[in-house]
């Protein structure tokens, strides 16, 4: 470890130690984190005749010992992130309207080229035609930066992060008939990537359109059977990317699943189905894979909660010669209530990215350990540690294995979150 990294890490550890000393001193004096089944505190906020308004602000400082997510020539830095947000939710007996917006402003202590300003705005509404029939719609806009460990973009040692904006629309209808329910919806997303220095990103601009149908039926008081099908169309603005590949595609997934949710608060959802994606470029093989997923919540003891999930998806990439990558993710988290106002957690994530047509596979493991102190119903302090390991066979189109995509990262976080309400 070089001298600069050691000095930066020492500063981070000093800050973390000071944080826990202060938090421990105040945790026993302020606040009450009691709640039902892992819901530690009830959200405060402003209330009007028709709306609940919740402004929040979060300040995070963290140390990252490998900000570019590379195996060699690692760079470390201290980062601060300011995240204000506002949520407005209707309290009407019929119909519904939710509005939200916020920002994430990141500042690096030494490497200012990594600074970013992200923001988002979302609106969702529901119009009740009757007790069992609703029309829903939503729209959103966000301006984002792409993380350095993104699987979609393989050129990460550019001067500054890639930025892009995303626009989304959705509209659909819910219909309930007895013990059965039907949901149909259309989604639309437009992504517009910015060029960064000599990195050309305009060939990544695209729209994604989806049509989904979900039917469910209660087969027992606590058990529901469902089927779901989704069609998707992915259209790129450029006829070909800069390497001559046609990246337009269309596909679908179809699943059948079961949800069991007893009154104890435990829940499990599991499904099995099929994923298909057809690519316009004749050099890209059709993707045919099993689709499966699990999502569960389990309370083995009064103050203990275990949650987990498994999911799959087909994602886009700029990897030369790859049509995309098949993502399979596994998450597991254990939450333990330590006192009336403190909560500890540990989590593990395993993600496998299988790049199609080129043989590259990335296996990413992430370990997280954290502690939250609720100083009051409106103020929370937390500290956490994360370790990330990405192990790739690095084959790519050339078939070479040069540890190009392998990396390790260690991150230390301090966060203060406040809900600005009386």
| Cα within 13 Å of Cα(193), Cβ side | 21
> In b/e form, how buried is each residue of 94-119, taking b as 16+ CB within 10 angstroms?
eeeebbbbbebebebeeeeebebebb
CA distance 165 to 163: 7
CA distance 196 to 238: 18
For residue 355, the SS3 value is strand
Q: Could you tell me which CATH class the domain 3-419 is placed in?
A: mainly beta
H or E element in which residue 27 lies? helix 3-27
Q: What does 377-421 look like in DSSP terms, one character per residue?
A: TTEEEEEEEEEEEEEE---TTTT--S-SS-EEEEEEEEEEEEE--
Residues 284, 357 contacting (CB under 8 angstroms) = yes
pLDDT at 15: 45
Separation CA 83–CA 213 (nearest Å) = 35
Distance CA 308, CA 302 (A): 18
Tell me the H-state helices in 141-241: none
Q: Report how far residue 334's alpha carbon sits from residue 277's, in angstroms, rounded to the nearest whole number.
A: 35
Supply φ then ψ for residue 359, to 5 degrees: 85, -5
Neighbours of 349 (CB within 10 A): 17
Contact 311, 326 (CB under 8 A): no
Contact present, 60 and 83 (Cβ < 8 Å): yes
β-pairing verdict for 361-376 and 116-130: unpaired
10-residue mean pLDDT profile of the chain (422 residues): values are 48 44 38 43 78 96 95 92 97 96 98 96 97 96 94 72 96 95 98 90 96 96 96 96 94 97 93 98 96 97 96 93 96 96 97 93 97 94 98 65 80 96 80
Task: Say what the pTM is.
Answer: 0.85
Q: What is the pLDDT of residue 5?
A: 47
> What integer pLDDT is reported at residue 262 of this predicted model?
92
Radius of gyration of the chain (CA): 23
| 81 vs 142: CA distance, rounded Å | 17
For CA atoms 30, 32, 38, 43, the dihedral sign is negative
Structure token pair of residue 146: 């792409």
Give rounded-to-5 percent helix, strand, coil for the chain. Answer: 5, 60, 30
C-alpha distances in angstroms, 422 versus 44, 53, 55, 100, 377? 8, 11, 11, 20, 11
> How many Cα atoms sit within 13 Å of 110 on the Cβ side?
12
d(C-alpha 166, C-alpha 141), whole Å = 6
Strand-strand pairing, 342-355 and 267-279: unpaired
């Amino acid at each position: 470890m070089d001298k600069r990294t050691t000095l930066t890490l020492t500063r981070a550890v000093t800050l973390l130690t000071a944080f826990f000393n202060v938090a421990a001193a105040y945790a026993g004096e302020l606040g009450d984190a009691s709640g039902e089944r892992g819901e530690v505190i009830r959200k405060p906020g402003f209330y009007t005749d028709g709306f609940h308004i919740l402004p929040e602000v979060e300040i995070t400082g963290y140390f990252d010992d490998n900000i570019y997510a590379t195996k060699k020539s690692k760079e470390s830095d201290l980062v601060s992130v300011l995240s204000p947000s506002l949520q407005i939710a209707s309290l009407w007996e019929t119909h519904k309207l939710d509005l939200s917006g916020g920002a994430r402003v990141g500042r690096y202590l030494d490497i200012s080229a990594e600074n970013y300003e992200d923001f988002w705005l979302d609106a969702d509404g529901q119009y009740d035609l009757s007790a069992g029939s609703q029309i829903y719609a939503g729209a959103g806009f966000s301006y984002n930066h792409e993380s350095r460990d993104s699987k979609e973009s393989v050129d990460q040692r550019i001067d500054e992060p890639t930025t892009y904006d995303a626009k989304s629309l959705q509209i659909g209808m819910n219909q309930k008939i007895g013990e059965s329910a039907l949901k149909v919806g259309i989604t639309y997303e437009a992504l517009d990537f910015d060029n960064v220095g000599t990195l050309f990103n305009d060939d990544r601009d695209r729209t994604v359109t989806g049509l989904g149908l979900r039917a469910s039926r209660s087969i027992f008081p606590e058990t529901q059977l469902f089927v779901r099908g989704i069609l998707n169309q992915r259209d790129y603005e450029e006829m070909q990317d800069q390497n001559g590949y046609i990246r337009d595609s269309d596909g679908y997934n179809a699943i059948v699943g079961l949800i069991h949710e007893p009154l104890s608060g435990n829940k499990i959802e599991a499904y099995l189905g099929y994923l298909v994606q057809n690519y316009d470029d004749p050099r890209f093989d059709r993707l045919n894979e099993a689709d499966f997923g699990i999502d569960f919540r389990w309370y083995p003891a009064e103050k203990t909660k275990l949650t987990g999930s498994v999911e799959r998806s087909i994602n886009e990439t700029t990897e030369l010669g790859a049509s995309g990558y098949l993502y399979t993710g596994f998450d597991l988290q254990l939450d333990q209530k330590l006192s009336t106002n403190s909560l500890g957690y540990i989590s593990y994530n395993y993600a496998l990215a299988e790049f199609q047509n080129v043989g590259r596979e990335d296996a990413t493991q992430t370990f997280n350990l954290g502690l939250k102190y609720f100083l009051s119903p409106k103020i929370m302090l937390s500290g956490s540690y994360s370790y990330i390991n990405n192990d790739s066979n690095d084959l790519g189109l050339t078939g070479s294995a040069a540890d190009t995509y392998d990396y390790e990262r260690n991150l230390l976080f301090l966060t203060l979150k406040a809900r600005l309400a009386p």
